Amino acid sequence: MWRRRVLLLLKPFDVYPPRSTGTVSSPLPGVKNPQILGYLDDRCRVHKETINYCQDVLQRKSLDLEPVFRNDLSQPIRHVDLVITVGGDGTLLQASHFMDDSIPIVGVNSDPTQVEEVKEFSNEFDATRSTGYLCAATAANFEQVLDEILEGYKAPSELSRISICLNDHPLSTYALNDILVAHPCPATVSRFSFLITGHGQKSSSLVNSRSSGLRVSTAAGSTAAMLSAGGFPMPVSSKDLQYMVREPILPRADEVPLMHGIIRADQTMDATWFSKEGVLYIDGSHVFHSLRHGDTIEISSKAPILKVFLPPHLLS
C-alpha cells in the first residue's frame, strides 16, 4: 500500500543559456539567427509549465511531496515511496546514482521533441528537444501514468546497472547507461588491457589495446552512445553488458573479434590502465574518477537493479 511520499526531482533552469540582455529583435552578439533565441525561450517555458503541472497534479492527489532540483541532490534517496523526475533522461540518470533497489522511479519528459518544429527549422538550426528515451510520461499523460502507478496497474521494470571496482575499491555510484574509460584529451591514445573472466569458465585472451578508449553499456544504455558507435540494441530486461573498444589502432587479426562483445551476467571484465592519465566517466561527464598508470578496473553487472516505470515502447 502506497504511503504516498514522493520525491519530485527537477531539472534546473540554469541549463538554458542566460538571457540577461538582448531580445529576439535585438539578439545577443554573435547570434546570427534570432529564431534560436525564441526557441530557447520556449524550451525553458515548456519545462517550467510541465513542472508546475506535475506539482499541481501531485498536490490535488494529497501526496506528501518534496520538490528538489537535481543539482541540490547530495545524499542517498531514502524514506520515500516513489521518485518522479521532471526533465529528461539526464535527470533520471542523475537520480539513479542516489538510489538503491528499494524505491521505484518514473521519468517525465518535460520538453519532448516536436517533429513539425524540427522539420520547420531543419535548414536553420537543430530544433531537437529532449529525447526522454527512459521517460514513461510527458505532461500530456502524466496524470494517467501516475494513477496507474498509484493504483497498482503499472509495475516497474528491473534494469541492470554497472558495478565498478577501482583498484579493488567498489565505487558507490552505479551506471544505469554506460561508462567510458578514456584519456582526458580525446586526441591522445588510450592504452589499456582487458580480459573477461567468469565463475568456472575459462578466461578470454588478454587484449592489449591502443585506441580512443573503452565503452561499456547496460541493456538500457545500448541504444544510446553504444548504438551510435556501431553497437547493437539489447532487450531492456537483459542482465548482460555490451562493450566496445573505440577506434582501435591496428589490432591483430585474432584480436579484432574481441574489440566488441558481451560481458555476461556471470562474467567480469578486468581492465588495467597503462596511459599516464585517464578518466572513468559514469553516465556522461558529471560523475568521473581520475586514472593513473597501473590502475585496475573491475566491471560487471553485479550491482543492485533499479526499478523503473518504462514507456510502452520499451516493454514490447
Q: Where are the domains of the chain?
A: 5-155, 163-303
Q: Is-contact 108 311, C-beta < 8 A?
A: no
Extended strands (E) in 111-177: 157-159, 163-166, 169-170
**Cα dihedral sign for 64, 70, 71, 75?**
positive
Q: For 163-191, how does the pLDDT look when each residue is reduced to its tens digit (9 = 90+)?
A: 999 999 999 999 999 999 999 999 999 99
User: pLDDT digits over 263-291, tens only?
Assistant: 999 999 999 999 999 999 999 999 999 99
Q: What is the pLDDT of residues 30-69, one digit of tens each?
A: 556 667 777 888 888 999 999 999 999 999 999 999 999 9
Q: Which three cell numbers stand for residue 289?
A: 574518477
Position 17 pLDDT exceeds 80: no
Q: Which residues are catalytic?
A: 89
pTM (whole model) above 0.85: yes
Cell numbers linked to 172: 558507490
Per-residue pLDDT of 68-99, as tens digits, reads 999 999 999 999 999 999 999 999 999 999 99
Strands 214-217 and 178-182: antiparallel
208-221 residue pLDDT tens: 999 999 999 999 99
Q: With 90 as the cut, is the pLDDT of residue 260 above it?
A: yes
The superfamily CATH assigns to domain 163-303 is: Probable inorganic polyphosphate/atp-NAD kinase; domain 2 (2.60.200.30)
216-248: burial string, b at 16+ Cβ within 10 Å, e else: bbbbbbbbbbbeeeebeebebebbbbbbbbbeb
Residue whose C-alpha is closest to residue 96's, from 314, 316, 291, 282: 282
Q: Which fold has domain 5-155?
A: Rossmann fold (3.40.50)
